[in-house]
Amino acid sequence: MVEIKVLLPDDWRLWRELRLQALAEAPYAFGATLAYWQGDGDQEQKWRARLDIPGSRNLVAFLEGHPVGMASGVPDSNNVGTIELISLWVSPDGRGTGVGDRLLDYIEQWATDLNFQTMRLSVRPSNEAAIRLYRRHGLRDAGEKGDSTTDDTSLEIVMEKRLRGLV
């Protein structure tokens, strides 16, 4: 059974553990690099700040008591009423078990409960598994190009979904 935990800044060690695993295992999937978070960048204050973004919700998924996934919902400062899904990652041990679905469902429900109107994300075009997950949850191509990927080989795809339960 997949369990979801909402993280607070005091949970920074757990977030750090998963984030470093994610950046090492799937560097292509993130805007940040492992080098940015290691060495001089590996500081408690920095990890706490990442979990303390105003208005955000940070999650870790557990499968049989082991952390296997993470995701965050962050208000988009450029688009009022829009939540941005960032940092979604599922470990190889958690893939194919519904962890990604549960994380995405949780962020969507949380955003809907707070009356956000749109959920958006950016994804690398080659990340086909993530794109399938997002499409399964009703996210569609927003018709605009995102930022350059970390290796500058392509532009990210921007996907979005209108959320239900609008007031």
30: left (phi over 0), alpha (psi -120 to 50) or beta: beta
The confidence score (pLDDT) of residue 56 equals 97
Which of the pair, 1 or 36, is modelled with greater confidence?
Answer: 1
**147 within a domain of the structure (yes/no):** yes
Q: Is the pLDDT of residue 153 over 80?
A: no
Give the separation between CA 110 and CA 83, rounded to whole angstroms.
10
The confidence score (pLDDT) of residue 165 equals 52
Domain count, the chain: 1
Which of 45-59, 98-112, 138-152 is the least confident region? 138-152
What's the Cα-to-Cα distance from 8 to each of 32, 59, 72, 155, rounded to whole Å?
21, 9, 12, 32
pLDDT digits (tens, 9 = 90+) for 82-97: 999 999 999 999 999 9
Closest alpha carbon to 18 in 51, 52, 60: 60
**3-state SS, one letter per residue, for 55-102:** CCEEEEEEECCEEEEEEEEEECCCCCCEEEEEEEEECCCCCCCCHHHH
Which residue range is the domain that position 35 belongs to?
2-162
Residue carrying structure tokens 């553990």: 17
Number of C-beta neighbours around residue 103 at 10 A: 27
**37 within a domain of the structure (yes/no):** yes
**150 within a domain of the structure (yes/no):** yes
Across the range 11-39, mean pLDDT stands at 88
Give the separation between CA 113 and CA 99, rounded to whole angstroms.
21
The confidence score (pLDDT) of residue 40 equals 82
pLDDT digits (tens, 9 = 90+) for 58-75: 999 999 999 999 999 999
CATH number at residue 117: 3.40.630.30
**49 within a domain of the structure (yes/no):** yes
Across the range 156-162, mean pLDDT stands at 94
**167 within a domain of the structure (yes/no):** no
The confidence score (pLDDT) of residue 105 equals 98
User: What's the pTM?
Assistant: 0.90
**61 within a domain of the structure (yes/no):** yes
Q: Is the pLDDT of residue 1 over 70?
A: yes
- Cβ atoms of 157 and 131 within 8 Å: the answer is yes
82 half-sphere exposure, CB direction, 13 A CA radius: 14
**14 within a domain of the structure (yes/no):** yes
Which of 5-14, 77-86, 142-151 is the least confident region? 142-151
Residue ranges of E strands in the chain: 2-6, 57-63, 66-75, 82-90, 118-123, 140-148, 155-162
List the structure tokens of 151. Answer: 């290796």
